[in-house]
Amino acid sequence: MAQRTSASAQRARVMRTAVATAAVIALGAAAAWYLGVFESGTVGADDLAEVALVAAAPDENGDVVAQIVALADVREGAVEPVSPATEVTLPGTTYGTLADAYPFGGGAGVAEALARITGGPTPAYVAVDAASLRSAVAEAGGVQVALPAEMAVFDGEDLYTFTPGVTTLTADELGAVFKGAPYLSAPQRAELDAELADMLATLLAEWPGGLVSASDTGAIATNLSPEALNDLHDVLR
């Protein structure tokens, strides 16, 4: 009886080890997915088709997420907005929107999530982090956006109020608009997403020194080669 109990305990230990190993492998696979380990590498000009344009900023909880997402079709010369609120499965997490993909893998994670939404190939990406976005907006003297509705946003320190129509936003005001966006109606949110996509495309097109320089200095994160970045820049202008 004692021998059988010992064997049973040994089998239990083996089973626990196997389960733990499987869990580690699963978590590793999820992490690899978000860190871009499964990417094919730098995208050259000859392979350039679609590029995910991503800008990150804090949400109302202070989490830095993708606040602007757009898909640039380089061959057609078009930029289409994609709602950051679009639902998508994010493996290994309990989160479920496109915006939430950013904290787990930056621009690469958002591009991968976009592929899951469309069922197509993973686009290349250009991502602007929160600090770089603030700096770019400040350096540009603000950004022009047509707001679809009245908005009143309290960010924990200040109350921002906006009226519908074209307005020039400072970096702080743009951050407030991001935080108020989830409370718009679906049609209003769609209008705002389109405006923000155009704004981001313009900001990238007018980036001081160009996108190659921005990539070299770390102001943007991308998997595009310098030649492909120049081609994208031509499309966005």
**What pLDDT digit, counting tens, does each position of 144-191 carry?**
999 999 999 998 899 999 999 999 999 999 999 999 999 999 999 999
What's the whole-model pTM score? 0.82
pLDDT at 65: 98
* Residue 8 bridge partners (DSSP): none
pLDDT at 45: 87
Q: Cα separation of 41 and 143, whole Å?
A: 33
**What pLDDT digit, counting tens, does each position of 29-66 carry?**
444 444 443 343 589 988 899 999 999 999 999 999 99
Residue 11 scores a pLDDT above 50: no
Separation in Å, CA 136 to CA 53, 62, 182: 15, 20, 24
Q: What angle do CA 195, 221, 224 make, to 5 degrees?
A: 95
Write down how long the chain is: 237
Q: Among 175, 170, 171, 229, which Cα is nearest to 205's?
A: 229
pLDDT at 228: 94
Q: Cα separation of 63 and 56, whole Å?
A: 10
Which of 7-16, 74-83, 224-233 is predicted with the least confidence, judged by mean pLDDT? Answer: 7-16
Residue 70 scores a pLDDT above 60: yes
Mean pLDDT in the chain? 86
Residues 45-236: name the CATH superfamily: LCP protein (3.40.630.190)
pLDDT at 156: 87
Instruction: Compute the average pLDDT of residues 8-19.
Output: 43
Classified as helix, coil or strand, 127 is strand
Q: Among 203, 218, 188, which Cα is nearest to 142's?
A: 203
Tally Cβ neighbours within 10 Å of residue 23.
10
pLDDT at 41: 55
Sequence ranges of the domains in the chain: 45-236
Stronger pLDDT, 231 or 38, i.e. the higher one:
231
Residue 194 scores a pLDDT above 70: yes
